[in-house]
Structure 1
Amino acid sequence: MDCILHHFDISPFAEKVRLVFGLKGLAWQSVQIPVVMPKPDLVALTGGYRKTPVLQIGADIYCDTQRIAVELEQRYPARTLFPQGSKGLCLALANWSDAAFFQPGAGLSMGTNADLPEAILRDRREFFNFIDFAALPDELPHLYARFKAQLQLLETMLADGRDYLLGGQPSWADILGYFPVWMCRGNIRGGDTLLAAFPRVLAWEPRIAGLGHGERSELDAEAALASAREQHSIAEVLVLGEAVPGLAAGMPVAVTPEDYGAVPVAGELVRLTHEDIAVRRTDPRAGEVVVHFPRVGYRVEKA
């Protein structure tokens, strides 16, 4: 089945998944979604989840780049994202890159990029609850310091001259470390000067960019919705009782991100393990789909 990525080109989080396609040499279809709400075609698939990107494979809808990365690794294990048994380490690094690294970078982008349209700024003021927009002008020096501290961590990871963060092969860890650097280029005032202070990061950066984006083709949203309607989920029903006591397969539940963009997605529980959550839902435009999330970072409870 085809991989369909719902994204927009300037999304740093979507760049993570595009690089996975490149590392694995995969063909995929691109559906461009609006940068700001409303996103009616996307929400028809996800049931409310509004973050970017979302991966669609048939009638299975994968939310969050962590869940997307794991699914692509399972389906396409060649050119692994997790060399030398590094899956746990790589997944654990996501909290570092998504919070400690990305969030000050996002604040700098919001506070220093004069080219951002007002519609994006207005949308992100509501969306990014980790940024105090009223205090942002005074916070910029602190945000620069926080961002530079994460760049120094990258520099330290590469201090022994290795080509990639885990050694001789690119991995999900490299993509996690790279996407805030990608955001820094052109989106943060003085970003090039910031990066110039870290020579090993500068040498590593083009190696990750060189992974490319695989083989991309364009698809319109209506065709993607039709693909979901015409196919069936391959999700295996599995609900572990100890994961969240009191929940069982088929029960109506809501799944909500624990950080920002906390819009609940309601559906019938299909999967609940220590690694993933999935719910089945029906939409007039998308048909019956199963929406997948990682376990870490999401709250699941009775609807």
Structure 2
Amino acid sequence: MADLILHHYPNSPFSEKIRLILGYKKLAWKSVVIPALMPKPDVLALTGGYRKTPFMQVGADIFCDSALISDVLEHLQPTPSIYPEPGKGLARTLAQWADSSLFWAAMAHNLGPKGAAHMFAGGPPEAALAFSEDRKAMSAGMVRLRPADAAAAYKSYLRRLSDMLDDQPFLLGQVPCIADFSAYHPLWFTRVRTPVVADILQLTPAVLEWMDRMNAIGHGSMEKFDAARAIAAAAAEEPMVVGHGLLRDSTFQDEHGIPLGSRVTVTAESFGPEPTEGELIAATRTHYTLSRRDERAGTLHVHFPRIGYVLKAATPA
């Protein structure tokens, strides 16, 4: 199999989630550091429109969204599992809450005036403005918490996590699961990237101890790579055959009346409204796959999780 290439940047919280899962599974991976802000021409050459971080590349297959990447890594390396039985349904449900409600409360707190000033201290004023405008474009139409409301919700969520850690080292038992990795990354951002607002974590010592255990997992074996080589690697490979490789479910599940082979777009439900267009070659109970071609990267299969993404027939040119 081709190398695992993670396209990410150091400050990205969802990237930290995947970096830790790679470490937990003791996987070797190549690191392509991508821009935090648009424009991202090398990213779009591979994804066709999707610009959120991270995404993972395996040859000419591109896996978008940390939820799908987590599933792919589980297929690739089943042990240790991040979906241990018998509670994997609960773990997935808790992870989805953590990646949404917990994440947005934490980030609204983290990037309030005090945290934002710390992040951009020493940089030119236009850097903070560019970040603000970029994220505003990504969250068009979203209802965002104000910092004071976010702090109140964040404190409540931290207490709930603390209660789960009363008599066990991880959220659902003796070993970490997908819920731990999903709940950890927004708290990691608070602690590591905006420490000036991290006093909120001191209210829940059990959570801080759990964070230390998660941090100790590490990031596995990483090798620096660059975008040009990643694009060349995609061009040199053929995408995996649908139903084989890392996403083995190929049973067509039609919820839209859109047949396979149609030109479609896939877009995130909320954050990150940029569509990816291509030929629909898979629509299973868990994921969508589009085939598209790029003049630099060649023929690619771009994969999205079904939950959290919107499939539509492409508008004729």
The TM-score range, normalised by the shorter chain, is over 0.9
What secondary structure is seen at the aligned counterpart in 2 of 1:29?
A: strand
1:219 to 203, 212, 225: 225
Q: What displacement does 1:247 show? A: 1.9
Partner of 1:299: 310
Partner of 1:257: 268
Q: How many residues align?
A: 297
Q: Is the 8 A contact 2:64 2:304 kept in 1?
A: yes
Which residues in structure 2 correspond to 1:140-289 (within 5 Å)? 140-159=147-166, 161-188=167-194, 190-236=196-242, 240=251, 242-289=253-300
Residue identity matched to 2:231: L
Partner of 2:55: 54
Partner of 2:91: 90
Deviation string, structure 1 residues 18-55 (Cα, Å, up to 9, x no partner): 00110000100000100100000011000000000000
What secondary structure is seen at the aligned counterpart in 2 of 1:83?
A: coil
Q: Is the 8 A contact 2:5 2:31 kept in 1?
A: yes
Deviation string, structure 1 residues 123-172 (Cα, Å, up to 9, x no partner): 1122234365xxx7xx322111011111111111112x201112111111
What secondary structure is seen at the aligned counterpart in 2 of 1:48?
A: coil
Q: What displacement does 1:262 show? A: 1.3
Q: What displacement does 1:265 show? A: 0.7
Deviation string, structure 1 residues 213-242 (Cα, Å, up to 9, x no partner): 000110010000011011111141576554
Partner of 2:29: 28
Q: What displacement does 1:282 show? A: 0.2
d(CA) in 2 for partners of 1:91 and 1:144?
25
Q: What displacement does 1:103 show? A: 0.6
Residue identity matched to 2:306: R
Residue identity matched to 1:14: S
What secondary structure is seen at the aligned counterpart in 2 of 1:100?
A: helix
C-alpha change, 1:85 and 1:269, in structure 2 (3 Å) is farther
Gaps (5+ residues) in structure 1? none
1:123 to 108, 128, 134: 134
What secondary structure is seen at the aligned counterpart in 1 of 2:255?
A: coil
Identity %: 39
Q: Is the 8 A contact 2:98 2:179 kept in 1?
A: no
Q: Is the 8 A contact 1:3 1:55 kept in 2?
A: yes
d(CA) in 1 for partners of 2:196 and 2:228?
40
Q: What displacement does 1:190 show? A: 4.6
C-alpha change, 1:186 and 1:245, in structure 2 (3 Å) is closer
Between 1:162-171 and 1:189-198, the stretch displaced more is 189-198
Residue identity matched to 2:276: V
Which structure 1 residue ranges, 4+ long, deviate > 6 Å from structure 2?
none
d(CA) in 1 for partners of 2:17 and 2:199?
23
What secondary structure is seen at the aligned counterpart in 1 of 2:111?
A: helix
Partner of 2:11: 10
d(CA) in 2 for partners of 1:32 and 1:241?
35
Deviation string, structure 1 residues 187-210 (Cα, Å, up to 9, x no partner): 446533211110211111111111
d(CA) in 2 for partners of 1:88 and 1:59?
31
d(CA) in 2 for partners of 1:91 and 1:43?
29
Q: What displacement does 1:261 show? A: 0.7
What secondary structure is seen at the aligned counterpart in 2 of 1:290?
A: strand
d(CA) in 1 for partners of 2:189 and 2:5?
23
